[in-house]
Amino acid sequence: MKKDILKTAVISITLCTMLSLFFSCASVENVEKKDDSSKLIENFFSIYEKEGIEDALDYTIQSNPYLTGSSMDSVKIKLTNAEPLLGTYNGYEIIGKRTIGYSLVNYICIAKYDRQPLRFNFMLYKATDKWKFIDFQFSTENFIDEIFDMSKFYYIETKQNGK
């Protein structure tokens, strides 16, 4: 009698453990599938390379009509003027990504040019089922200054043996 109860308990525990593992794996898979935001970044840089900065910026506006206006026109003008000074475009890299919950993602990318990199910051938002750009920034000078600041050595004075 005790053997039957023990056997039933072991089977129940094993079954519960297997179900728990199954559902935890399924939930991890769903989280990974939810973050398809990088497709917007890939598309942006594909358009950037093949058709130019103005078309790439228009792509950001197509994902979110709230981005229209004079601020985007100003960004187009600044980027169009900066491009010839940077040399040949040689691709891009995603150098940072911060995910905030399941609905916000911040990408930091560099566009690699002959002269120097150009940093892009993209904030993406997913209110329902579709990612869209909600903020876009770029920088050349501030980015280089930030890299210099990050690479500075900070020396700490220590007194050893009374010196």
Cα 44 from Cα 69, distance rounded (Å)? 19
pLDDT at 5: 53
pLDDT at 23: 46
Q: What is the pTM (predicted TM-score) of this model?
A: 0.68
Low-confidence ranges of the chain (pLDDT < 70): 1-35, 69-70, 154-163
Would you list the DSSP string of 109-138? EEEEESS--EEEEEEEEESSS-EEEEEEEE
Task: Give 106-134 pLDDT, tens digit per residue.
Answer: 999 999 999 988 999 999 999 988 999 99
Closest CA to 140 of 76, 57, 90, 82: 82
pLDDT at 57: 87
pLDDT at 22: 46
Would you list the DSSP string of the chain? -HHHHHHHHHHHHHHHHHHHHHHHHHHHHHHHHH--THHHHHHHHHHHHHH-HHHHHHHHHHH-GGG-SHHHHHHHHHHHHHHHHH--EEEEEEEEEEEETTTEEEEEEEEEESS--EEEEEEEEESSS-EEEEEEEEESHHHHHHHHHHH---------TT-
Which of the listed CATH numbers 1.10.1740.10, 3.10.450.630, 3.90.1640.10, 3.40.309.10 matches domain 49-151? 3.10.450.630
User: What are the domain boundaries of the chain?
Assistant: 49-151
